[in-house]
Structure 1
Amino acid sequence: MSKTLHFGVFEVMGPQVGGTYSWAHPRSEGLSYLDPAYWIRMARILEDSGFDFLFFAGGYGYPLIDGDLPRVAVEKGINFPGADPDYLIPILAQHTDRLGFVVTQSTGVDHPVQLARRFATLDHLTRGRIGWNIVTGASQNAVADVFGHQSMVPHDTRYEMAAEYVELASRFWETAWDDDAFVGDAASGVFARRDGVHRVSFEGEHYRSRGYFGAPPSPQRTPVLFQAGTSPAGRAFAAGNAECVFVQATTPARTAAAVADIRRLAGEAGRDPQGVKLMAGLTVFVGESEADARRYEAEFDAMQTDEIVASLYAGNTGIDLLALDPDRTLQQIMDAGGPVGQMGTSNIERFLGEDAPTVREILDQLRGRGTRGFRIVGDPVQIADQIEALIATTDLDGFLIEPVFEPNDLEDFGRLVMPLLRERGRLRDGAPGNSLRARLTETPGNDRLGAAHPVLAPAVAAR
């Protein structure tokens, strides 16, 4: 049988996504991002057309060039501003029955107990349709400034902290309450069994806790664990923790190599390599005809500039491309002691190696792409064919659609492409009441993470 594909939508609670400029286009309604009706309409489009989840990126970072917020970021809305999508989720859950919701939260901001309670609450309010996108931080120079930190935490240290963070959060979710601890019996006046509620004790290098967790177990207990990052540390972390990994899409060959490596590492961690869902970003220009799709693409591309690219790249890596020699490569600049930091290593390493492009070529490659993944253009049949070809080449399990003119292009994709993929046996619709985990694993009733998952091994041992 053909592999079942999974689709999410990559969003931010801002005017546009991907570090590119599109909100001012007549097809975009991005300026309505603070209106709940805008998101309700989008959620209904996604649910009705068969998407698995709506994914929200987020954080406190923003682009910095020479230590300051660049003018183009403000004027064009490039990864600035941004609101908090957490508060949208309960609203959207009331207007949907099957669609999942994934929220990004950094492991370096709150204490694990704060995050654990937030996600337990969201899992209850969505009836088991919540996921956590685990990030160790983004735009770390800006985050360090806004939180008053003296310096950025080194890249690999952030992953060491994240491992502790996830372990402690999982102990709150999985060991603080027994399955039968909640009673809720009005006749006896017993809310919960005292002997079923346990103290969580944890003493790590970075995090400590000794106390009780007040949030009763939610339908999934642990939210579905997502992770994005294809640096060596990021891959190792994903292999041992994530149920769904958002892989950076550069070229099909490089993406295939990253997919194979994460599956290998997952196997070495004692997991089923095929049980980890691997997805990449996908920008789609689709129209009733190929000519319509090409016109949408050309109009989008005409809106992009070098300054927009440089602002986005600086926010991700700390490197201002426009300040570098356009005829040299990043490798040459780094070897000569040029800029390199503890940010965006995946987005630096992709431009290193023997075939490294020049700075000028990087700007050209990223214009109109930003942090976006693959790009495909065409009529509905051409789009469906290209999706299947990418799956065959990369062994991905699906895509996060990165909209350009939202929500109208999402509606087009749902109306024109999803029915074709369903006809080809590529989609399996979720049933109302299924958890997000059950939907992604294609196993009704599979709501819990399971004691065999590496994340829970220390928690189970601590019981």
Structure 2
Amino acid sequence: MKTLHFGVFEVMGPQVGGTYSWPHPLSAGIDYLDPAHWIRMAQVVEEAGFDFLFFAGGYGYPIIGDDVSRVSVEKGINFSGLDPDYIIPVLAQHTSTLGFVVTQSTGLDHPAQLARRLSTLDHLTGGRIGWNIVTGASQNAVAEVFGHERMVPHDTRYDMAAEYVELASRLWEEAWDDDALVADRASGLFARREGVHRIVYEGEHYRSRGYYGAPPSPQRTPVLFQAGTSPKGRAFAADHAECVFVQGTTPARTAAAVADIRRLAAERGRDPERLKLMAGMTVFVAETADRARELEAEFDAMQTDEIVAALYAGNTGIDLLSLDPDRTLQQVLDAGGPVGQMGTSNIERFLGEDAPTVREILDQLRGLGTRGFRVVGDPVRVADRIEELAAETDLDGFLIEPVFEPNDLRAFGDLVMPLLRERGRLRDGEPGHTLRSRLTEGRGGDRLGSAHPVLGRSAATA
């Protein structure tokens, strides 16, 4: 029986998933500027037995036409947000086993800058850090914020990301020998000079020929997460990721994406079962099914077409409300629109045979946003459905996407996690202290391992 893993999907903003929920009386999301809010949430999540708290993030925002979306600003839809890197050391001091995953883009700074930042976090958390590798989101807005004349093409961003990860991994894994750091008071020796190595990397997009001053952290390389189910994204995940987030749309679509990523990993000589594939999940759970449905209805009543359109525009560059509601997204392609540079997964899912109309897309995405599967019911029904989805898709776990945080996370922890634990679906005990050890149930150790393909390729680049 497969062990299931659970994370919590968050942003350091008022709400997650591109949906509207912070004004609801059960939500404390608007307290996101208060460190105490995050401390309470991290403790709730750890006590429930989650593996990690995942922070999405970025500099983008939804654009409608050529300006920021009004509803995005007025409702706080993927607009307001802070940098979660700085709250993680605080949360680490108030937890002992919970992992933390941060989202960092591969296109905005040099790999050496990111490497030192994540080495620092891995030290400060005792080896509980993961890196969610993204090539960019809301690229039109990011281009505006950073003064770029144009968006970097989608496939080029993935080519850049491959070099970025390879160079960062070499800094983490090869710059210091295991015994290079001595820190001996008696002799006054800090580090063995012969154990510290110059890293030379000559790529098309990134270069380096210096020394890396950050001593090895407990994991050296943070756990490598990646999201994106476009063809290029799947290939990148098969090459680089240890944990992959796939879109939780329908069980059949998700199962196909999971199978394809595992196939691509096997073609690259990796054990496909070592990859942890997860999808998002929004859960409305209560002691009774009737109360769970009431919570769902209260959430759904807060959503509008304008909210759906703002989020979709931020992800894809396409304003659904400006299109003919009775035609499909093919009208954007026919007009030579921005398809292909942003949010390709969220565009391609609505093309092809039996493609929905724009009106049907708005209805389908209402209350969904970027969220994955939705499960509603009493604790037994929710636990049953989680197991069913895992069996139907071959997923290894789920990221719970809060709606009325942290109350719904506490409810999930109190009502559902004990049932899954009784059924033998959660890990038995605490295999090691690092995030990598937890996600591999103790079989993968704390380190990335020399068999990982990114290290084999980077050695050839030296």
Fold-level match, TM-score > 0.5? yes
Cα distance in 1 for residues equivalent to 2:107 and 2:295:
39
Q: For residue 9 of structure 1, what is the aligned residue in structure 2?
A: 8
Q: Any idea what the Cα deviations from partners look like across 1:211-261, whole Å, max 9, x if unmatched?
A: 110000000000000000000000000001000001011111000000000
Residue 333 of structure 1 deviates from its aligned partner by 3.8
Cα distance in 1 for residues equivalent to 2:218 and 2:335:
54
Cα distance in 2 for residues equivalent to 1:363 and 1:219:
46
Cα distance in 2 for residues equivalent to 1:333 and 1:36:
43
Q: Contact 1:98–1:433 (CA<8 Å) still a contact in 2?
A: no
Query: How many pairs are equivalent?
Result: 462
Q: For residue 121 of structure 1, what is the aligned residue in structure 2?
A: 120
SS state at 2:392 partner: helix
Q: Aligned ranges for residues 354-369 of structure 1 at < 5 Å? A: 354-369=353-368
Larger mean Cα displacement after TM superposition, 230-239 or 339-348:
339-348
- Tell me if 1:353 matches 2:352: yes
SS state at 1:213 partner: coil
Q: For residue 99 of structure 2, what is the aligned residue in structure 1?
A: 100
Going from structure 1 to structure 2, the CA distance change for 1:204 and 1:462 (only over 3 Å counts) comes to closer
Q: For residue 321 of structure 1, what is the aligned residue in structure 2?
A: 320
Q: For residue 182 of structure 2, what is the aligned residue in structure 1?
A: 183
Q: Aligned ranges for residues 137-152 of structure 1 at < 5 Å? A: 137-152=136-151
TM superposition outliers: structure 1 runs of 4+ over 2 Å: 335-341, 429-433, 458-463
Q: Any idea what the Cα deviations from partners look like across 1:369-395, whole Å, max 9, x if unmatched?
A: 000000010000000000001011000
SS state at 1:282 partner: strand
Cα distance in 1 for residues equivalent to 2:430 and 2:235:
33
Cα distance in 2 for residues equivalent to 1:21 and 1:354:
32
Q: For residue 261 of structure 2, what is the aligned residue in structure 1?
A: 262
TM-score by length of 1: 0.98
Q: Which amino acid aligns with 1:177?
A: W
Q: For residue 82 of structure 2, what is the aligned residue in structure 1?
A: 83
Q: For residue 32 of structure 1, what is the aligned residue in structure 2?
A: 31
Q: Contact 1:131–1:226 (CA<8 Å) still a contact in 2?
A: yes
Q: Contact 1:7–1:400 (CA<8 Å) still a contact in 2?
A: yes
Larger mean Cα displacement after TM superposition, 144-153 or 452-461:
452-461
SS state at 1:209 partner: strand
Cα distance in 1 for residues equivalent to 2:434 and 2:263:
28
Q: Aligned ranges for residues 36-47 of structure 1 at < 5 Å? A: 36-47=35-46
Q: Aligned ranges for residues 47-446 of structure 1 at < 5 Å? A: 47-428=46-427, 431=430, 434-443=433-442, 446=445
Cα distance in 2 for residues equivalent to 1:445 and 1:321:
45
Cα distance in 1 for residues equivalent to 2:32 and 2:270:
39
Q: Contact 1:50–1:429 (CA<8 Å) still a contact in 2?
A: no
Residue 431 of structure 1 deviates from its aligned partner by 2.6
Cα distance in 1 for residues equivalent to 2:417 and 2:217:
32
Cα distance in 2 for residues equivalent to 1:195 and 1:462:
22
Residue 430 of structure 1 deviates from its aligned partner by 5.5
Q: Contact 1:175–1:459 (CA<8 Å) still a contact in 2?
A: no
Cα distance in 2 for residues equivalent to 1:289 and 1:431:
32
SS state at 1:414 partner: helix
RMSD of aligned C-alpha atoms? 1.2
What 5-or-longer segments of structure 1 have no aligned partner?
none
Cα distance in 2 for residues equivalent to 1:91 and 1:261:
39
SS state at 2:236 partner: helix
Cα distance in 2 for residues equivalent to 1:417 and 1:64:
38
Q: Contact 2:309–2:321 (CA<8 Å) still a contact in 1?
A: yes
Q: Which amino acid aligns with 1:120?
A: S
Q: Any idea what the Cα deviations from partners look like across 1:158-185, whole Å, max 9, x if unmatched?
A: 0000000000001100110011100010
Q: Which amino acid aligns with 1:352?
A: L
Q: Contact 2:18–2:78 (CA<8 Å) still a contact in 1?
A: yes
SS state at 2:117 partner: helix
Q: Contact 1:127–1:433 (CA<8 Å) still a contact in 2?
A: no
Larger mean Cα displacement after TM superposition, 356-365 or 338-347:
338-347
Q: Contact 1:164–1:206 (CA<8 Å) still a contact in 2?
A: yes
Q: Any idea what the Cα deviations from partners look like across 1:134-168, whole Å, max 9, x if unmatched?
A: 00000000000100001000000000000000000
Q: Which amino acid aligns with 2:102?
A: V
Residue 338 of structure 1 deviates from its aligned partner by 4.4
Q: Which amino acid aligns with 1:329?
A: T
Larger mean Cα displacement after TM superposition, 431-440 or 325-334:
431-440
Cα distance in 1 for residues equivalent to 2:380 and 2:127:
35
Q: Contact 1:175–1:460 (CA<8 Å) still a contact in 2?
A: no
Cα distance in 1 for residues equivalent to 2:158 and 2:305:
32
Q: Which amino acid aligns with 1:211?
A: G
Cα distance in 2 for residues equivalent to 1:339 and 1:127:
43
Q: Any idea what the Cα deviations from partners look like across 1:18-38, whole Å, max 9, x if unmatched?
A: 000000000000011011111
TM-score by length of 2: 0.98
SS state at 1:313 partner: helix
Q: Contact 2:286–2:411 (CA<8 Å) still a contact in 1?
A: yes
SS state at 2:384 partner: helix
Cα distance in 1 for residues equivalent to 2:369 and 2:416:
24
Going from structure 1 to structure 2, the CA distance change for 1:380 and 1:27 (only over 3 Å counts) comes to same
Cα distance in 2 for residues equivalent to 1:32 and 1:126:
24
Q: Which amino acid aligns with 2:283?
A: V
Q: Any idea what the Cα deviations from partners look like across 1:407-460, whole Å, max 9, x if unmatched?
A: 000000000000000000000155385110000001167000000000111344
Cα distance in 1 for residues equivalent to 2:245 and 2:67:
30
What 5-or-longer segments of structure 2 have no aligned partner?
none
SS state at 2:101 partner: strand
Cα distance in 1 for residues equivalent to 2:460 and 2:148:
35
Residue 100 of structure 1 deviates from its aligned partner by 0.3
Residue 461 of structure 1 deviates from its aligned partner by 4.5
Going from structure 1 to structure 2, the CA distance change for 1:222 and 1:339 (only over 3 Å counts) comes to closer
Cα distance in 2 for residues equivalent to 1:139 and 1:445:
35
